[in-house]
Amino acid sequence: MGTLISVTVADENLSDEVFAVFADLDNRLSTYKSDSEISRLNRCLELNVSERTLQILERSMEMYRLSDGAFDVTVGSFTHNTYRFGYDNEHLPSSKELKISEKSVGSNRIDIEGNFVKILPGTVIDLGGIGKGYAVDLAINRLMSRGVDKAVVSASGDIGCLGECTINIQDPFHPQGNIGTVISTLPRFAISTSGNYERYIKNKSHNHLIDPKTGQSQQRYASITLIDTQDNTRLDALATAVSIMQESKAVAMLKKLKIAYILIRNDGRVIKSPMPDGVRLNSSF
């Protein structure tokens, strides 16, 4: 997953089960592991995949349609082949390189029939914008199936809660501090934060939140936090999508989906919605 995973639950044996869920998904979905299902699909262009891999690919296509293409897992042509995020040879691509990679991006390059997935040559699937949220959902579902009603599962900015919980929102301008606290009394709570301050090349202007239509890093937001009563998978993907959408279009989409949001622009301006019933925001803005 490329990040710190934490689990808070009373039964330590259950935390081991949660970590096993994350390890299993990492082995299936990581583009940094040559023997994962996604790496084999990217390499061989066609593959019979497992139910879990199929499910996240289908959710990815759903998020592509929901965001009008702002979320696109074929962005791997940029993130892995061109920018090389996460590799030792990360670099800033030229306009020519981006133009070449652009030809291999588009979720219409993925075809799914049953468990058989086929992609067009040059396509690189990167599930980094949805995988952690999906893993959190599976982990929460596993705990619920064991009768747990109080727990917190966190994969960096993607956090799922059962029962009351308090989540701090990191200050994107001073990463050691917090700018707000979200307090939930809901039986199930989901929150996802994405920002330009965690992964970038040289400076935040070259961050990992890449517009799949242009190959350019997003320049609008320092931090995006989405809040809902369930479905971390959707929040993870849409936090990525919102980062490169026009602000008015992004806000309209979130309002339609009844997803609460806190958008912090690079100039420090904050755009936020009311919180859902059962959720309170304590903040300095």
Instruction: Say if residues 31 and 124 touch (Cβ distance below 8 Å).
Output: yes
How far apart CA 60 and CA 285 sit, in angstroms, is 33
Work out whether strand 260-265 and strand 270-272 pair parallel, antiparallel, or are unpaired.
Answer: antiparallel
Q: Nearest Cα to 185, choosing from 159, 165, 168?
A: 165
The hierarchical CATH code for the domain 131-283 is 3.10.520.10
| Residue 182 token pair | 């979200």
What are the tens digits of pLDDT across the range 185-241? 999 999 999 988 777 888 788 888 899 999 998 889 999 999 999 999 999 999 999
Q: What stretch of H or E contains 5? A: strand 5-8
The average pLDDT across 126-148 equals 97
- pLDDT for the residue 89: 84
Length of the chain: 285
Q: Indicate the range of 51-60, 98-107, 199-208, 268-277 predicted with least confidence.
A: 199-208
- pLDDT for the residue 78: 94
What are the tens digits of pLDDT across the range 99-132? 999 999 998 999 999 999 999 999 999 999 999 9
How far apart CA 134 and CA 38 sit, in angstroms, is 15
Mean pLDDT of the chain: 94
Extents of the domains making up the chain? 11-119, 131-283
What is the residue type of 20? A
Instruction: Say if residues 204 and 196 touch (Cβ distance below 8 Å).
Output: yes
Higher pLDDT pick, 84 / 232: 232
Annotation: CATH topology of 11-119: T-fold (1.10.3980)
The average pLDDT across 67-89 equals 91
Dihedral, 83, 206, 210, 116 alpha carbons, nearest 10: 30
**pTM, full prediction:** 0.94
In the chain, how many H helices and how many E strands?
A: 8, 15
- pLDDT for the residue 225: 97
How far apart CA 31 and CA 83 sit, in angstroms, is 14
Which pairs with CB-CB distance under 8 Å and at least 24 residues apart come from 198-206?
A: 198/156, 199/85, 199/86, 201/83, 201/85, 201/90, 201/91, 201/92, 202/92, 206/83, 206/92
Sheet of strand 221-228: strand arrangement: 5-8, 151-155, 158-162, 188-195, 221-228, 260-265, 270-272
